[in-house]
Amino acid sequence: MDYTRFDQVFGAVSPFPYTRTVILSIEASRRTLEGSLFIDRVLKTLKLGQVSKNYPPKNENALRQLHQHLCDEADIALHHKLSVLYYLLVDIDGRSSNGESKAEAFASLAGLPERYRIFMKGLWHLDARSFEVALEHLTHPSLISDFTDDIITVLVRHAEDKKDGDYTLPLAYYYTVQPSIQSSSALQLLFDAIARSSVLEAFEFSRAHAEYMRRQLFQRLVSITLDSGSRSADETAAERAFELTSLPFDADEEQWFKEYLTSGEGKRLKTAKDTLVMRRVATGQGAGVAGDRGAWANVLEGFKTGSGGRA
């Protein structure tokens, strides 16, 4: 297999797979995925950002130019070149109805290692917005995590767009791969997903960070938990607030909690005062004692109605 020979790699490309409908679909995915497909990100990492302008190719000549640009780059490792070609073939296979697998035939003849096939196929499924199938590949134990911030960002944004409160996919990816998050924006999106799914897990996640970031995340947890009341059923919002105020805060967290709700941004929250009362009840410091059902009933009812004023 000579990967520099277009015909050996792609074979016959008639009928041309990138119809106008296909091209419009790919461009729609590009807009949805934060403005860049994952193949765009790969090419940019390989310093081939200009090449991505040829994708999707509008005709066979454009596909030939893309192939030639890739082959002409002397500073790119062979397995990276083969990986990009494999992605393109997976793309063509995915748009073909004849059942032929050009991608796998090419990978076998070119000797592309299995882990590169798994990774590139996972990226292709992300670009096709087949997120569940993508995770079957991207969580494979043979892979070294890459583009993790981008993957988490895309998965969380997708979950937010669905508006059903289901963050299963981004959390499954994070907990399986356990990547190191580099950007503050990806960290916040991930934390928000955790906080909206589990108050306790978000609390424990915040404690794994240095103090400055830990304080930010802790107060973010308070904000998300209380602000979710405007989007959740009263009972669910009250249960989450109860879980938050029953957590075993240390001295720093206790201070951050009070400051945030009395003089910080949290003061504007409708249930800020009721939440402070809930905390005092939980710690046996007022409005009854922690085990007093009557006190809890009154405070929870106040939280659900957002009446405030009892702090």
Mean pLDDT, each 10-residue run in order, the chain (311 residues): 93 90 95 94 90 90 94 92 97 80 94 96 96 96 92 95 86 95 95 95 95 94 80 68 93 96 91 88 66 49 50 40
Rg of the Cα atoms in the chain: 26
* pLDDT reported for residue 236: 77
DSSP letter at 111 equals: T
| Contact status, residue 236 vs residue 271, Cβ threshold 8 Å | no
| Contact status, residue 253 vs residue 269, Cβ threshold 8 Å | no
Q: How far apart (Å, rounded) are the C-alpha atoms in residues 262 and 284?
A: 20
The pTM score is 0.87
Q: How far apart (Å, rounded) are the C-alpha atoms in residues 139 and 137?
A: 6
* pLDDT reported for residue 164: 74
* pLDDT reported for residue 118: 97
